[in-house]
Amino acid sequence: MPDKKCAESEQNDCVMPVRSANPIRARSLIRDNLEKQAGCLNLIHSRMPNIKVFSGTSHPDLAQRIVDRLGIDLGKVVTKKFSNLETCVEIGESVRGEDVYIVQSGSGEINDNLMELLIMINACKIASASRVTAVIPCFPYARQDKKDKLPGSEDNEESKKLAKKNYDWKFRSRAPISAKLVANMLSVAGADHIITMDLHASQIQGFFDIPVDNLYAEPAVLKWIKENIPEWKNSIIVSPDAGGAKRVTSIADRLNVEFALIHKERKKANEVASMVLVGDVKDKIAILVDDMADTCGTIVHAADRLVEAGATKVYAILTHGIFSGPAISRINNACFEAVVVTNTIPQDGHMRDCPKIQCIDVSMMFAEAVRRTHNGESVSYLFSNVPY
């Protein structure tokens, strides 16, 4: 004798409804049942659409590594410029109903690459893509995230000229918040989701009204330290400025070593009067950790200060190695054992020019973030683990 509950379950799962003496009623029940099943199928497809990954021109190598790990092919896209330097993007395959991911880093010709990303997002969106996710390993304009910047405080020639004009702090009220502007542009272009790594300020996530997954390079950095610095247990993690204190304390805690920081004192903009080391680095391996390095003036001065304080070796580990202006020559002449960066920005040219530069591949972290996002899984695992 079959169980009553099983019989009821079989009856509910049956496509055909219970027979009715009224033929109109019977047809209505059949239609309702079919529509219900079609609705369930549509729900499944809306949650799990097919996936397409496209690459911009800023970092095709990283995009190829991501799709290789995912086991799919890179989407076809043609990017070109007209004679007046306008950007033209042509998506070479259908994206209707697809889950689209566009990989474009904020490096090289940043303004052109940003515009290319916006056009690609919009092209996919108006081609009826189900969802468009911008994978931006290095977020452009991330350093312009607040209005308290003193004009001329950056380490470049134009800023030095500005600094000589003795700008007053009152000018900060007219400084732009360009990171917020970029966030608005991405949203208006049609982006539904952002995946990035090590934002210069975590609060930039709040500039968006769409989900933002800010991945961390920290798990990959810890792995590199343990595998490439034999005496890492006798190391000390150092922040080159007070703003990175939270970052270095997290790494030091996970390695169970001490940490230190360097406080910069300026007499005027662009000139570091002194660097005060807070912490004891004598007879230890100093590991400088920062989110990015542009002209490398700060980390080179910090390395010299650490050697003066008695550090036996100095390493620098940076998430985004921009290395513009005199950066490469400064690193070549500095006392670093190695300057380690991730490949959120292309590093092949930098590594050819400077043998001290080493690269950590983080494509597996972005690939896993894409896979988990596509499957509706949590990405919090990647905040403290490196996927293998």
Do residues 101 and 222 share a domain? no
Question: Is residue 193 situated within a structural domain?
Answer: yes
Helix (H) or strand (E) holding 311: none
Do residue 195 and residue 298 come from a single domain?
A: no
pLDDT, residue 172, reads: 55
Domain boundary among 159, 194, 215: 215
Confidence of residue 132 (pLDDT cuts 50, 70, 90): very high
- pLDDT band with cut points at 50, 70 and 90 for residue 31: low
Residues 209 and 294 in one domain: no
The CATH code of the domain that includes 136 is 3.40.50.2020
Q: Supply the pLDDT for residue 351.
A: 94
Query: Residue 19 above 60 pLDDT?
Result: no
Mention every residue, 6+ apart, whose C-beta is less than 8 A from residue 260.
236, 237, 238, 239, 248, 277, 278, 279, 280, 281, 286
Q: What pLDDT digit, counting tens, does each position of 288-344 carry?
A: 999 999 999 889 999 999 999 999 999 999 999 999 999 999 999 999 999 999 999
What pLDDT, on the 0 to 100 scale, is given for residue 243? Answer: 81
* Judgement on whether residues 195 and 76 belong to the same structural domain of the protein: yes
DSSP-derived pairing of the beta strands 212-215 and 285-293: unpaired
Tell whether 15 is covered by a domain.
Answer: no
Residue 41 falls inside a structural domain = no
pLDDT of 148 over the 70 cut: no
Residues 238, 366, 236: CA angle, nearest 5 degrees: 10
Which residue, 215, 246, 266, sits at the end of a domain?
215
Predicted confidence (pLDDT) at residue 46 exceeds the cutoff of 50: no
In a domain, 263, yes or no: yes
**pLDDT at 234 > cutoff 80:** yes
Specify whether 224 is located in the same domain as 180. Answer: no
Q: Which of 156-165, 209-218, 259-268 has the lowest mean pLDDT?
A: 156-165
Number of independent structural domains in the chain? 2
Q: Hey, what amino acid is at 23?
A: P
Which structural domain range is residue 312 located in? 217-360
Asked whether residue 115 carries a pLDDT value surpassing 70, the answer given is yes
Q: Is the pLDDT of residue 13 over 50?
A: no
Q: In the predicted model, what is the mean pLDDT of residues 246-272?
A: 79
Predicted pLDDT of residue 44: 40
pLDDT value for 257: 95
pLDDT category, 264, cuts 50, 70, 90? confident
Question: Is 89 a member of any domain?
Answer: yes
The model's confidence at residue 14, banded by pLDDT at 50, 70 and 90, is very low
Residue 357 and residue 346 in contact, taking contact as beta carbons nearer than 8 Å: no
Q: Is residue 288, in this structure, part of any structural domain at all?
A: yes
Same domain, 57 and 206: yes
Residue 109, in any domain of the structure:
yes
* 327 shares its domain with 338: yes
Of 143-147, 148-152, 282-286, the range with the lowest mean pLDDT is: 148-152
Say which residue, 33 or 221, is predicted with more confidence.
221
In a domain, 367, yes or no: no
Give the pairing type, strands 51-55 and 99-103.
parallel
153-202 pLDDT per residue, tens: 445 555 555 555 545 444 556 788 999 999 999 999 999 999 999 999 88
How far apart (Å, rounded) are the C-alpha atoms in residues 341 and 358? 6
Are 195 and 280 found together in one domain? no
**Res 59 pLDDT > 50:** yes
Query: In this structure, are residues 274 and 262 in contact, taking their beta carbons and an 8 Å threshold?
Result: no
Residue 33 burial (10 A CB sphere; 0-12, 13-18, 19+): middle
Q: What percent of the chain has pLDDT over 90?
A: 68
Residues 247 and 309 in one domain: yes
The stretches of the chain forming alpha helices (DSSP H) are: 4-13, 23-47, 60-70, 110-126, 157-163, 178-189, 218-228, 245-255, 297-308, 327-333, 348-353, 363-374
204 shares a domain with 55? yes
92 and 224 housed in the same domain: no
pLDDT of residue 120: 97
With a CB cutoff of 8 Å and minimum separation 6, the contacts of 314 are: 285, 286, 287, 288, 303, 306, 307, 335, 336, 337
What local confidence, expressed as pLDDT, does residue 174 receive? 78
- pLDDT category of residue 224 using cuts at 50, 70 and 90: very high
* Nearest Cα residue to 300 out of 281, 259, 268, 272: 272
Confidence at residue 32, expressed as pLDDT on a 0 to 100 scale: 60
Higher pLDDT, 192 or 42: 192
Boundary (domain end) residue, out of 215, 232, 249: 215
pLDDT confidence of residue 116: 96
| Range with lowest mean pLDDT among 176-190, 219-233, 269-283, 307-321 | 269-283
Domain shared by 352 and 263, yes or no: yes
